[in-house]
Amino acid sequence: MLKSILAVSILLISAYAMSQNNVRLEIKSLPSYHPSGSDIYAAGSFNGWNPQDQNFKFQRTGKGDYYLDLKLAEGKYEYKLTRGGWDKGECKAGGGFIANRVLVVPGETSVQLNVEEWSDRFPSKPRVSTATRNVHIIDTAFLIPQLQRVRRVWIYLPDGYEASQEHYPVLYMHDGQNVFDDATSYAGEWGVDECIDSMKKKCIVVAIDNGLAKRINEYCPYDMEKFGKGEGDQYVEFLAKTLKPFIDKNYRTKPGKQNTFIAGSSMGGIISMYAILKYPEIFGGAGVFSPAFWVGPKIFDDIKTKGNKVNSKIYFYAGTQARNARP
């Protein structure tokens, strides 16, 4: 298992060791009613879709023009502009939905942008829930004692759960806002509930909301020069020592390692990998999708030192643009 993990790690670390290119975004036009002097941010696949990331706030020239200088690896990124929140994001003229902008970085790049409208000028339309009837909220403020924060926690129970005495494997997933419901997602739901509904083999799925502005910190176990203190160690301890015992006590689970799994994408990928390294006796499998290993490259040291204790199934998946994945 260690050799397999190291082999994958070498491929990943070589992929992430990409040169950074200077990229400038320049806003050439804004709505006539744009609030004078208000801040504008870029939120996208390069910063975890944080709508108010101070590291991605546009600066002003002496003439008042907005610009943002970035350093990005070659590749393709998606993003939108906001004034500090998704309720104040850009939209089409008349308030229509606007698709994500696409930024292609072949090298040093400069892009000129036009903002048609801001969405807070128009009445918001309620988003329709797409969660199936098998999805429930365990708690909107479940305490994370390791971090002294609270978080919404979701659970999916398979068809027939209430009428049977069957016990089920459990899959723990990060970014709970995106797992089941389009109404709470920031980039479209993953449809995990519909997927399991269609499968013969069933399991319970527990989804934990991310911490929004704290997402990168909570999903990285290592301190980061750009994003600050890593809190992933405490977050994973919460999953293993607080949440899992609660789930096993209150639901009909198969609590053994061979039936306990963890999965996530991007930053959720790196924290899933870390979880199986720290608690190989608890998690028997991990789904590591397009992991943002570049944020916490010390993960490779942990793989080398702790990988020999792992005897679990690890599913790695990355698309053609994953070498440039961002948190």
Domain assignment of residue 252, yes or no:
yes
CA neighbor of 268 nearest in space, from 296, 247, 289: 289
pLDDT at 17 over 50: no
Query: Mapping DSSP to helix (H, G, I), strand (E, B) and coil, where does residue 12 land?
Result: helix
Reported confidence tier of residue 321, pLDDT bands at 50, 70, 90: low
pLDDT at 98 over 70: yes
The domain containing residue 76 runs over which residues?
Answer: 19-121
Type of residue at 251? Y
Q: What is the pLDDT of residues 275-284, one digit of tens each?
A: 999 999 999 9
pLDDT surpasses 50 at 326: no
Same domain, 136 and 266: yes
Residue 14 counted as domain residue: no
Which residues are within 8 A (CB) of 23 and not within 5 positions of it... i.e. 6 or more apart? 69, 70, 71, 72, 103, 105, 108, 109, 110, 111
Same domain, 135 and 195: yes
Which pLDDT belongs to residue 213?
A: 86
Would residue 139 count as lying in a domain?
yes
Domain shared by 173 and 248, yes or no: yes
Is 238 contained in some domain? yes
Output the pLDDT for position 322: 52
pLDDT of residue 324: 46
The reply to whether 9 falls in a domain is: no
Taking the C-alpha atoms of residue 220 and residue 234, their distance in angstroms, rounded to an integer, is 10
Question: Tell me, what's the pLDDT at 1?
Answer: 52
Which comes out higher in pLDDT, residue 295 or 203?
203
pLDDT reported for residue 14:
46
* Shared-domain flag, residues 268 and 152: yes
**279 assigned to some structural domain:** yes
Q: pLDDT above 90 covers what percent of the chain?
A: 78
Query: What per-residue confidence (pLDDT) applies to 327?
Result: 54
Residues 202 and 57 reside in one and the same domain: no
Residue 97 confidence class, pLDDT cut points 50, 70, 90: confident
- How many structural domains is the chain composed of? 2
CATH label of the domain that carries residue 311:
3.40.50.1820
Q: What is the pLDDT of residues 238-269, one digit of tens each?
A: 999 999 999 999 999 999 999 999 999 999 99
Query: What are the angstrom distances between the C-alpha of 298 and each of 71, 293, 304?
Result: 21, 8, 10
Q: Quick one: what percent of the chain has pLDDT higher than 70?
A: 91
Does residue 323 register a pLDDT over 90? no
Cα angle 211-294-311, degrees, rounded to a multiple of 5: 85
Q: Residue 9 and residue 103: Cα distance in Å, rounded?
A: 27
Pair (154, 89) in one structural domain: no
Same domain, 144 and 250: yes
Q: Examine the domain organization and report whether 32 and 132 are in the same domain.
A: no
Residue 263's pLDDT is 98
Domain end residue (candidates: 60, 86, 121): 121
At 19-68, the pLDDT tens digits run 689 999 999 999 999 998 899 999 998 887 889 999 999 999 999 999 99
**226 and 180 within one domain:** yes
Which of 95, 121, 147 is the endpoint of a domain?
121
Mean pLDDT of the chain, nearest integer: 90
The rounded distance, in Å, linking the Cα atoms of 265 and 288 is: 6
Domain endpoint, select from 77, 95, 121: 121
Output the pLDDT for position 2. Answer: 46
48 and 151 co-located in one domain: no
Give the pLDDT band (50/70/90) at residue 186.
Answer: confident
107 and 243 housed in the same domain: no
Structural domain includes residue 12: no
Distance of alpha carbon 265 from alpha carbon 290, whole angstroms: 6
In-domain check, residue 6: no
Residues 151 and 96 both lie in one domain = no
